[in-house]
Amino acid sequence: MSTTLTQQKLLDRSDISFSMKFGYLGLGMGGCSIAAECANIKTNVKNGNYPYNGLLINTNNMDFEKINIKNPNIEKLPIGSGKGAGRDIEVGENAFLDHQNDVISAVKRQFMDRDFIWIVAGLGGGTGTGSVIEAIKLLHKNGYQRKFGLILTLPRNKEGATVISNALERLQKISQAMKGLGSIILVDNQKLYDKYIKQNPNASLSEYLEFSNQFISDTLHELNVVTASFKPYGDSHFDSSEFENLIKTPGVLSLSKFSIEERKIDLENESSYLPPLEESIESGILSDGYKLKNAQRAATSVIANKYTAERIFTLGFTDRIENIVDDKAPLAGEKPIATYVDEKAKGVHFYTVFAGLNLPTRVNELVKENERLMELQEKETEEDDVFASLQTFTRKKRIDNESDDLDSLLSTSNSSKSQDTDKKNSKDEIHNPIDDL
Ligand SMILES: Nc1nc2c(ncn2[C@@H]2O[C@H](COP(=O)(O)OP(=O)(O)OP(=O)(O)O)[C@@H](O)[C@H]2O)c(=O)[nH]1
Ligand SMILES: [Mg+2]
């Protein structure tokens, strides 16, 4: 998939429209960085220069400085100590609760004209993860029922036990409440990181994060534009209100995109485009490992320029795509295949969205990783005990050999005492919770 094909230069165009006005409520450092990137989108559209806005909430004042804010319609709201929540979800939750009234006022001010709000948090830390449940409750109680969804990142395996268990603890609660929420978009940091590092082996973690945030922002914007901007070709139809239904469907949303050069689509040769389309649906853009069979809704949009549309948008073509989607999501109540003409399109672009899904297998992997780390911790403690018994064993032996020497016996017991204290201290150091921050 080449970049020129994937980007379509949507941002530089003035002839596009948006399905929905999104507002982004960022929580914690990751949540605020992603929300800011999404709300920073600038277009050339008249009266739509900045189609989105944002409210950024964090307990760490320094982190606010690191966020690149271009859109004047992004507001920052500091809560808590100003020093962060130190990966403690209770501290994050309490900071949010203590400033609840400020949050309500800011939400009303910022989001009064928004069609849909995305609560954005990086799962694993203290502030975003700790506030997310309270933020859900707050929007729900203050006039935004069914008008908000979640964008949550899943941590990478190497981020450690605290991060993974924080993320899982809150995911458990969120999954219980899932039926009452709009859609949830999961961003699998491990998936995006693996892909990014393969292509950019010398890049830093912060470069990865920047890339991932831009990628999330572009993906959402593209979907929002595609469903509103282009002329439907033929009878098939998928409009802004259907897009709205899709993102308001409770459950997880899986997004996929596939772009291919026009000349590569040979209608007489299905293998020229169907297998990579299927593959793109399975591998998703931001996360994968979904049981698509559970999807409640699905939608596919295909975009091509006029010349290509006339050649490829035949009944047989849409029929084949319909079969693929139907095969993957037999229970979906609606699954339109919509074809559009974009005069300026280079290549043919397929966007597929599945809504109402359960959590993906990546969450199982995180549960397993969490168990592995806990076992490792237990083993480590056991090994400490072995070390202690070995120490006693050596000493006893020495005592036996020199049992008639009182001085040396005393000095041995003294030194053994001080060794014990030393060991206790070093053990304390190893388990100092500050090291976990
Ligand atoms: N994709 C992406 N993920 C991020 C980014 N920043 C953080 N994350 C993820 O989000 C998780 C939580 O980190 P933060 O958002 O920094 O934590 P926080 O909510 O500020 O919590 P505290 O610092 O403990 O108060 C991390 O473990 C990462 O996996 C980001 O810019 N992009
Ligand atoms: Mg933080």
Which pLDDT score is estimated for 416? 40
Nearest CA among 98, 88, 118 for reference residue 248:
118
| Contact present, 237 and 338 (Cβ < 8 Å) | yes
Ligand 1 atom 27: the closest Cα is on which residue? Answer: 124
Which pLDDT score is estimated for 50? 93
Ligand 1 atom closest to 155 (CA): 29
Given a cut of 50, the residues of the chain with pLDDT beneath it are: 1-7, 399, 401-437
Measured from the CB, is residue 85 less than 6 Å from ligand 1? Answer: yes
Which pLDDT score is estimated for 271? 96
Residue 96 to residue 92: CA distance in whole angstroms: 6
Residue 68 to residue 38: CA distance in whole angstroms: 11
* E-only strand ranges, 251-306: 251-260, 297-304
Residue 19 to residue 224: CA distance in whole angstroms: 5
Which pLDDT score is estimated for 391? 72
315 contacts: CB under 8 Å, gap ≥ 6: none
Report every protein residue that has its C-beta within 5 angstroms of ion ligand 2.
Answer: 29, 60, 84
Ligand 1 atom closest to 130 (CA): 19
Which pLDDT score is estimated for 11? 67
Which pLDDT score is estimated for 402? 46
Which pLDDT score is estimated for 240? 84
Ligand 1 atom 5: the closest Cα is on which residue? Answer: 30
Which pLDDT score is estimated for 299? 94
| CA distance between the termini of the chain | 40
Q: Which of 32, 64, 153 to probe ligand 1 with, by most ligand atoms within 8 A of CB?
A: 153
